[in-house]
Amino acid sequence: MEIRKIDQLSFEPFIREEEIQLAIERLAKEIAPAWKDKNPLVLVVLQGAFVFAADLLRQIPFSVDIEFIRVKSYEGTESSGEVRSVMGLELPIIGRNVLIVEDIVDTGKTAVYLRDLLIEMGANHISMATFLYKPAANQTDFEPEFVGLKIDPTFVVGYGLDYEGKGRHWPGLWRLISEK
């Protein structure tokens, strides 16, 4: 089994590309009928969602507006839960049906922050498609509507997700090997 390292941390293969692509195909089939008449504004949350968004959105056959936003909330391998800023929200939100595309819902705090911000900005309808969801880590009442894969609360990298900015480009998902 190939082990990859980032700094002192070791990661083992977790979910293969083939499995991820099947999950995304299924997700696109759930999203497309539900959103085709909603003139969606898709907000892709950078940087983590860039790989997922590229694969998912190419399977959506109708036209959508796409914006890329940045939310800073994570340091190291534990979510701080503190969302510090949002950048890139430029199109008017008022009255729009917004589909947030995220890499992962962990504590849920980023999702709640974004939802509340978009409500405040006058969005008509808000929903989220997340590549990964760690239900056992969610500390909020937020439940993502469209989920690619549910995972246990372990730390993962690859397919857009990083550790300290590294590992985003690794194919498939890799799981942190615990030192214990």
- 167 burial level (CB within 10 Å; 0-12, 13-18, 19+): buried
The only residue of 9, 15, 79, 123 in contact with ligand IMP, by rule CB under 6 A: 79
60 within 8 A of 30, measured Cβ to Cβ: no
CA distance 85 to 110: 10
- The contact pattern for ligand IMP, residues 95-124, with x = CB under 6 A and - = no contact, is -------xxxxxxxxxx-------------
The only residue of 98, 161, 170, 173 in contact with ligand IMP, by rule CB under 6 A: 161
DSSP state at residue 136? G
Q: Is 55 a catalytic residue?
A: no
The only residue of 73, 97, 124, 127 in contact with ligand IMP, by rule CB under 6 A: 73
Shortest Cβ distance from residue 44 to ligand IMP (Å)? Answer: 11
Shortest Cβ distance from residue 2 to ligand IMP (Å)? Answer: 19
Query: Which residue is associated with the tokens 């990661």?
Result: 11
CA distance 70 to 43: 10
Question: Which distant-in-sequence residues (6+ apart) come within 8 Å of 58 by Cβ?
Answer: none
Q: Which is nearer to ligand IMP, 32 or 116 (CB)?
A: 116
Count residues near ligand IMP (CB under 6 A).
19
List contacts with ligand IMP (CB under 6 A).
Answer: 48, 73-74, 79, 81, 102-111, 155-157, 161
